[in-house]
Structure 1
Amino acid sequence: MSDTSSLPPEPEGLLSADEIIDIVDEHDRVVGQSPRGVAYERGLRHRCAFILVRDARERIFVHRRTARKLVFPSLYDMFVGGVVGAGESYDETALREAEEELGVRGLPRPEPLFRFLYEDGPRAWWSAVYQVRCELPVSPQVEEVAWHTFLTEDELTARLPEWEWVPDGLEAYRRLLAWRADGGR
């Protein structure tokens, strides 16, 4: 795990590593709490929300994460979102994270689609996948987003083998495509 002590403080004065999050079991039941950095270091299972954002033209918001992110820095992602805070619901997190990362207010409540347990070696988190339409002009959060654009599904598909994507987002996108192919069940 990278040392976060040399990073500048985030606007609220705390590094995201210090944020308290819920720790959950294999059935997504809360079993404790931990600072986010400790949860990452120890591979403690927690919760995340993934929100696929489309604009009025049905294009998908795609971005490259900043280099200061604790997990998957500088990789591309087709979802906005983040870790569910202690005592926060997936739904609350989805709306908060989407508005924060897109730099908008008044976004419609994201629509929940499905959940899955993401596991990659020592890392594991319950992942709630959402979708939302954003017809507002975006001004992405500079602490989270280094670059962004909106791509059609075909453009996104063409870039999947070309760009280095966050593995959890890529898995969520693959599951989303399968979920749609199965009629959204």
Structure 2
Amino acid sequence: MNPAEEILDIVDAQDRVIGQAPRGEAYAGKLRHRCAFILVRDPQSNVFVHRRTLTKLAFPGLYDMFVGGVVGAGESYDAAALREAEEELGVSGLPAPTPLFRFLYDDDAGRSWWSYVYEVTCDLPVKPQVEEIDWYGFLSPEELERRLGEWPWTPDSLEAYERLKAHR
């Protein structure tokens, strides 16, 4: 299926479902939907960081310290978090990501989505989806902090990461 055709639940400011729309329509119309963000660590606590492909519908070519994506219509955040993490990392048998917190992302461009942040440790060899990721590495927390000021990052992941640091 073309990603733009995937059906999403459209939600209100309280995260209640108020309708459904294809992803492409939701993005174009700036309709509020749901996303799962998963911070992936290896057993040494290094963080999986990647650069998004130029074909992504949202934030093409930018770096991200989370894997994840939209929650499909009728899908739970937890199911989406596991599905997205396994798909993007190219693994199966990943433990269920641990839910940490939820927040409403709104930006100056009028985009808005409910964002559920998760964390998981992956000790499996990763083989990221080439359709989603064109570069990746596991960075130490110190290296990740250093790269925050150097690389162009997705704005929603930056907000999620700052909220994650405050959450701890």
TM bucket by the smaller chain?
over 0.9
Residue matched to 2:137: 149
- 1:75 equivalent in alignment to 2:62: yes
Q: Which amino acid aligns with 2:14?
A: H
With normalisation by structure 1, the TM-score equals 0.90
Shift in Å, 1:134: 0.1
2:41 to 26, 43, 54: 54
Distance 1:109 1:173 in 2: 20
With normalisation by structure 2, the TM-score equals 0.99
Runs of 4+ deviating beyond 3 Å: none
Shift in Å, 1:101: 0.2
Shift in Å, 1:15: 1.5
Shift in Å, 1:28: 0.2
Q: Secondary structure at the match of 2:158?
A: helix
- Count how many residue pairs are aligned between Structure 1 and Structure 2: 167
Distance 2:27 2:40 in 1: 26
Distance 1:179 1:56 in 2: 21
Q: Which amino acid aligns with 1:101?
A: E
Unpaired stretches in structure 1, ≥5 consecutive residues = 1-13, 181-185
Q: Secondary structure at the match of 2:130?
A: coil
Residue matched to 2:151: 163
Residue matched to 2:6: 19
Structure 2 matches for 1:11-160, cutoff 5 A? 14-121=1-108, 122-160=110-148
Distance 2:2 2:53 in 1: 14
Which structure has more RCO (C-alpha within 8 Å, separation ≥ 6)? 2
2:165 to 159, 177, 183: 177
Distance 1:99 1:38 in 2: 26
Unpaired stretches in structure 2, ≥5 consecutive residues = none
Distance 1:106 1:74 in 2: 28
Q: Which amino acid aligns with 2:138?
A: F
Residue matched to 1:4: none
